[in-house]
Every structure is written in C-alpha cells, then in structure tokens.
Amino acid sequence: GAVVSQHPSRVICKSGTSVKIECRSLDFQATTMFWYRQFPKQSLMLMATSNEGSKATYEQGVEKDKFLINHASLTLSTLTVTSAHPEDSSFYICSARGAGFGNTIYFGEGSWLTVV
C-alpha cells in the first residue's frame, strides 16, 4: 500500500528558531499534499493544501509567512515553522493524494513539535 513518511517524528526547538518538517510519498507521486495540525485530544485542523510546482493554499487564519510550505517535487513537501513560539507546539501531520489512487488520502506518521 501507499506509504507517506514524515520526518522528524519528534523535534524540540528553542523559541524564535525555525524548524522544518518533511513529508515524503515513498511509493507514489503525490500531486497534492495537505498539512494539518492537531492539538491533544482535538481534531485535525487543515492548515494548507500544497500542489506540486505551485504556491500552497492556506486556510483562513493560518499565517502563510509563519508556516512556509514548499512542494518542490511530486514526492516531497516541507513545512517550515518560522520563529517558533511555545503556542506552535503541536502535532503536525501531512497527507498525500496521488493521481493513481483516486481520492484516497494517506497520512504520514506525524511530527510532534515542542517549542521551549
């Protein structure tokens, strides 16, 4: 089956620094990737949709200058949290949908970000 890999799975960074999270589709080409954040015991909130080779589309209320998304290839999308603050601490999850898989979306394992 399709596999989506996220890295790192856990990261701790200091307040004010930036951290990059990678999302890779391992056995299929992902034309569209989605980034979510999830606070403990809450639902997944869609942050942005990224399409290969074009700018990401951000959801209302998500700061595009703070959460930089790059989908430079059909197998890789990155989320960079810039100037991180403790309130950015969360579980970030990517998902990917490939052209050959219809509408089925596969999720990465998620990345726990802790900003201290």
Binding site for another protein (CB under 8 A): 32, 34, 36, 41-46, 49, 60, 93, 97, 103-110
The number of C-alpha atoms within 13 Å of 58 and in the hemisphere containing its C-beta is 12
CB of 38 to another protein, least distance (A): 9
- Determine phi and psi for 86, rounding to 5 degrees: -55, -30
Nearer to another protein, 81 or 98 (CB): 98
CB of 49 to another protein, least distance (A): 6
Nearer to another protein, 36 or 67 (CB): 36
CB of 109 to another protein, least distance (A): 5
Distance, in Å, from the CA atom of 93 to the CA atom of 110, rounded to the nearest integer, reads: 4
Distance, in Å, from the CA atom of 64 to the CA atom of 87, rounded to the nearest integer, reads: 16
